[in-house]
Amino acid sequence: MSEAARTLFATAIGEAEQTALLLDASGVPLAGSYLDQHGRDISAEIGAALSGVSMEVSRSMRLLSIGHWKAVVVETDAATIALAPAAEDSVVLLASSSTVPLGLVRRVLARSVALAITWMRSRA
């Protein structure tokens, strides 16, 4: 992955305790990074765990007849995880410290999706 791809979400994230990834439909990381507490990039492992999640959420929304999905946000004691669809069946994952306000998480997620879509279109 190029340095430009790895740092794609830096302007959206800023100094907040957050990290973002752009994953293709198969869970392969296309941009961003996800570092564990030891500084090791675990983007591929995260992507593998989330492979197919966009299709499953889309299927669930269709079965429930509630329209297209815009975001899924999961809050835990340790972190807040937010997912949103991007272009070409890709998905943006934003992981934030549980201390980051939910409104900021949603705003950074929206900015990250916009960056991902623009970046993917520029690659085509």
| Distance (Å, whole) CA 109 – CA 113 | 6
Beta-strand pair 29-32/18-23: antiparallel
The number of distinct structural domains making up the chain is 1
Instruction: Tell me what the mean pLDDT of segment 66-77 comes to.
Output: 85
Please report the pLDDT score of residue 64 as a whole number: 79
Q: Looking at the DSSP assignment, which residues form a beta bridge with residue 11?
A: none
Which residues constitute the domain of residue 119? 3-11+18-123
| Distance (Å, whole) CA 40 – CA 60 | 34
Please report the pLDDT score of residue 36 as a whole number: 85
Residue 11 is encoded by which pair of tokens?
């302007």
pTM of the predicted structure, to 2 decimals: 0.87
Residue 95: CATH number of its domain: 3.30.450.30
Per-residue pLDDT tens digits for 87-108: 888 999 999 999 999 999 999 9
